[in-house]
Amino acid sequence: METLAPAEPEVRAFETDVARVDDRDVVLAETYFYAESGGQPADRGTVDGVAVVDVQKRDGDVVHTLAEPPAFEAGETVRGVVDDDFRTYCMRAHTASHALYGAGRRLLDDLGYGGFNIDERKVRVDFTTSTDIDDGTLLELERLTNRAVWDSRDVSWEQVPVEEATAREDVAFNTKTEEGVMADADTVRVVTVDGWDVAACGGTHVSNTREIGPVTVLDRSNPGEGLTRVEFAVGPAGIDRFADVHGAALDAARELGTGVDDVAETVASLRDERDDLAARLDDLKGEVLGSQIAGFETVERDGATWKLGAIEGFGPNEAGDEAQSQVGDGADVVAVVGGGDNTFVVVASTGDVDAGDVVARVTDEFGGGGGGGPTFAQGGGLPVDADEVVAYLRS
């Protein structure tokens, strides 16, 4: 027995006989409850006032799982009521996925279905496509989908012979999620959004795209190789998301002192200014660091001239670069000790003094670790103040 929901999705209440009762599981002679399949969740509702918590296809039957064992028995006539709000949401959401796929037909290369799912807050469609779906493409998918809604395109469905459907190039097949849509069947159900999309599908749908309402694209991701997942919302969730995004845009425009249409241009200008300031700051920091190291005390040790001292506010990479740039200019060795939360030492040498040996002696004395070669070495994690390391190097 198949559910009658896809063929007559507007039916919300019906009477029928009970075919079988097994504790909380009930099989009806006929049903308008949609059984979970193809990425669409099971309908909610009641059977003779008892809540239906799940509907599944099992061994050729549509099994309704109730919240508690029912009082009725096999052979009795019962009244089924499908939850109107949830069914309507699923119809809109499922048809919206077809409208989105139709938009994809117009934008994406090598297009195919990779998966589909509806939950209470959002809908996802997994595309297989060679096209990189960037922000611009995502927005165009949203725009075209909503245009299909606005155009009030009729939605219809019919049973088509399997051989005919599979031979048609215009029919999309979601083979990953439409479980059983063609299994052991002579025909396949084909849903058509007039002039927009044609797909094999066993779900429930609205009769015209205008019933979908606004579609708001939420996000995109890559759940697997060759797949792009697009998530969107319809109904209240979509309206709320649009309002949130619009509100954020208005807030950003107000903070930037510009109009919403000019936010991107203003942000780009501010980013350029920030990058310029960051570059200037780096230059100034480099000048300050160079000046500090150039002003280090000079000592003579073992026939070599050393410059050594402590700095703060700079990292080992910055100190190392500057030390290497100054070694040889009046000094055979430049040793820089960085203070702060993590004391470090960098040593640059002309090679007459082995920088690696200097760092090794420091870490042997104080702890920490490091290494390097004859012309440059560094160590870190020294558990002492920078001044102690400088005093050690001076002695």
Could you tell me where the DSSP H helices lie in 6-69? none
Measured CA to CA, the distance from residue 99 to residue 176 in angstroms comes to 19
DSSP H or E run through 173: strand 172-173
Partners of residue 233 on adjacent β-strands: 216
Q: Residue 370 belongs to a domain with what CATH number?
A: 3.10.310.40
- Over the stretch 15-57, which tens digit does the pLDDT of each residue have? 999 999 999 999 999 999 999 998 999 999 999 999 999 999 9
Tokens of 122: 């959002």
What is the reported pLDDT for 375? 95
Residue 318 lies inside a defined structural domain of this protein:
yes
39: left (phi over 0), alpha (psi -120 to 50) or beta: left
Measured CA to CA, the distance from residue 204 to residue 198 in angstroms comes to 15
Tell me, yes or no, whether 94 and 210 share the same domain. Answer: yes
Tell me, yes or no, whether 106 and 228 share the same domain. Answer: yes
Measured CA to CA, the distance from residue 250 to residue 245 in angstroms comes to 9
User: Which range has the worst mean pLDDT, 93-107, 164-178, 231-245?
Assistant: 164-178
Tell me, yes or no, whether 140 and 118 share the same domain. Answer: yes
- Which among 4, 30, 3 is positioned nearest to 15, based on CA atoms? 30
Tell me, yes or no, whether 204 and 308 share the same domain. Answer: no
Measured CA to CA, the distance from residue 156 to residue 135 in angstroms comes to 32
Tell me, yes or no, whether 231 and 337 share the same domain. Answer: no
Tell me, yes or no, whether 101 and 248 share the same domain. Answer: yes
For 95-100, what is the mean pLDDT?
97
- What residues make up the domain containing 345? 289-394
For 317-343, what is the mean pLDDT?
92
Residue 263 lies inside a defined structural domain of this protein:
no
Measured CA to CA, the distance from residue 146 to residue 216 in angstroms comes to 9
What is the reported pLDDT for 181? 52
Domain count, the chain: 3
Residue 276 lies inside a defined structural domain of this protein:
no
Residue 273 lies inside a defined structural domain of this protein:
no
The residue assigned the tokens 């990058």 is 275
Residue 282 pLDDT greater than 90, yes or no = no
Partners of residue 304 on adjacent β-strands: 301
- Over the stretch 106-152, which tens digit does the pLDDT of each residue have? 999 999 988 899 998 899 999 999 999 999 999 999 999 999 999 99
For 93-104, what is the mean pLDDT?
96
Tell me, yes or no, whether 127 and 190 share the same domain. Answer: yes
What is the reported pLDDT for 115? 87
CB of 390 within 8 A of CB of 308? Answer: yes
Give the end of a domain, one of 63, 82, 101: 82
Q: Residue 68 belongs to a domain with what CATH number?
A: 2.40.30.130
- Over the stretch 180-235, which tens digit does the pLDDT of each residue have? 555 567 899 999 999 999 999 999 999 999 999 999 999 999 887 788 999 999 98
Residue 333 pLDDT greater than 80, yes or no = yes
Tell me, yes or no, whether 108 and 242 share the same domain. Answer: yes
What is the reported pLDDT for 176? 54
Tell me, yes or no, whether 93 and 141 share the same domain. Answer: yes
- Tell me the pLDDT of the chain averaged across its residues: 92
Residue 100 lies inside a defined structural domain of this protein:
yes
Tell me, yes or no, whether 170 and 197 share the same domain. Answer: yes
CB of 346 within 8 A of CB of 324? Answer: no
Residue 70 lies inside a defined structural domain of this protein:
yes
User: Which range has the worst mean pLDDT, 91-100, 172-181, 258-267?
Assistant: 172-181
pLDDT class of 177 with cuts at 50, 70, 90 = very low
Residue 265 lies inside a defined structural domain of this protein:
no
What is the reported pLDDT for 373? 94
Give the end of a domain, one of 205, 231, 252: 252
Give the end of a domain, one of 62, 82, 102: 82
Tell me, yes or no, whether 72 and 149 share the same domain. Answer: no
Q: Residue 222 belongs to a domain with what CATH number?
A: 3.30.980.10
Measured CA to CA, the distance from residue 226 to residue 130 in angstroms comes to 7
Tell me, yes or no, whether 32 and 173 share the same domain. Answer: no
Tokens of 209: 């795209």
> Which CB contacts under 8 angstroms, 24+ apart, belong to 278-287?
285/314, 285/318, 286/318, 286/322
User: Which range has the worst mean pLDDT, 12-16, 56-60, 278-282?
Assistant: 278-282
